[in-house]
Amino acid sequence: MGATPTPPGPLWPSPRPLWQASYADVANAQSGRDLTGPWRLLLLGDGSPTRHLQSLTGLPVEVEVIAMTADANPGAEAPAEVTELKAPLLRRQVWLRCGEQTLAWAESWWNQGAAAEHLQQRNQPIWKSLMAERAELYREVDGLALVEAPWLAAGLGSTGPFWSRHYRFFHQGRELTVIREVFSPALEHWLGPAESRAPGHTNRHDDLQRL
């Protein structure tokens, strides 16, 4: 289990991308070809990641909120899709844990009014809050990346880099939120290796380790 580092401020900086797929490759299911099947489903599928974590571990997902505050200037570190949200914006950052293991970090951007409506239980996973309302939702995966950050390595108990994705939830045809998730390599305990390790195969993670 990684030790949770002390946050540097109300909002943490987003992890730095070392590599990221193009939007076209993600939209056409051409990204992440080095990923094994279970990891492709986790990162590029439209299922709930917190539901997946609970199913894999057999333990409830506990949410520790790092920050949940106004974000007047998301800047270049935010996914481009955040510009489609109506201001004023709120950003929420959390650790996701199952038992003693920290298995993911996530941040999400919301219109402040939508956040007040849909995130009344701030320590509850987003999918559980939305499902409690029986909201009709559509999830669209927009990005896949390998990222790093010193505080992320400390929190997840691994040197990284870490697989990350971002996606949008749509409700009644309109963008509701943009969510970025970063997953711990500890998930290989249940899912197996994230990338192919066939003889003679060099994967992207190994290339980055040598940089």
pLDDT in tens, 82-130: 999 999 999 999 999 999 999 999 999 999 998 888 786 666 666 555 6
Instruction: Say which DSSP state 123 is in.
Output: T
What's the token pair of residue 179?
């969510």
> Is residue 207 predicted with pLDDT exceeding 50?
no
Q: What is the 3-state secondary structure (H, E, C) of 18-48?
A: EEECCHHHHHCCCCCCCECHHHHHHHHCCCC
* pTM assigned to the model: 0.86
Task: Please give the torsion angle defined by the CA atoms of residues 200, 32, 29 and 74, in that order, rounded to the nearest 10 degrees.
Answer: -160
Q: What is the mean pLDDT of residues 195-202?
A: 56
What pLDDT score was predicted for residue 199?
38
Pairing state between β 162-171 and 174-183: antiparallel
Note the pLDDT of residue 44: 93
Is the per-residue pLDDT at 6 higher than 60? no
Q: Which two tokens stand for residue 143?
A: 């990005």
The CA distance from 57 to 45, in Å, is 19
Please give the C-alpha separations between residue 41 and each of 25, 38, 44, 68, in angstroms, as whole numbers.
16, 5, 5, 29
| Residues sharing a CB contact under 8 Å with residue 129, sequence separation 6 or more, in sequence order | 118, 119, 120, 121
Look at residue 173 in the predicted model and tell me its pLDDT: 81
| Ordered structural domains, the chain, with CATH | 16-73+80-209 (3.40.1410.10)
pLDDT of residue 117: 84
pLDDT reading at 164 higher than 90: yes
In this predicted model, what pLDDT tens digit does every residue of 27-69 receive, in sequence order? Answer: 888 888 889 999 999 999 988 888 899 999 999 999 999 999 9
Query: If you write DSSP's letter for every residue of 66-108 in order, what string do you get?
Result: EEEEE-S---TTS-GGGGGSPSSEEEEEEEEEETTEEEEEEEE
How does pLDDT run across 120-159, given as a tens digit for each residue? 666 666 655 565 555 567 889 999 999 999 999 999 999 9
Q: Is a pLDDT exceeding 60 seen at residue 201?
A: no
Given a cut of 70, whether residue 172 has pLDDT beyond it is yes
- Separation CA 150–CA 3 (nearest Å): 12
Cis peptide before 193 (omega within 30 of 0): no
> Please, which residues have CB within 8 angstroms of residue 199's CB and are 6 or more apart in sequence?
none
Distance CA 26, CA 20 (A): 10
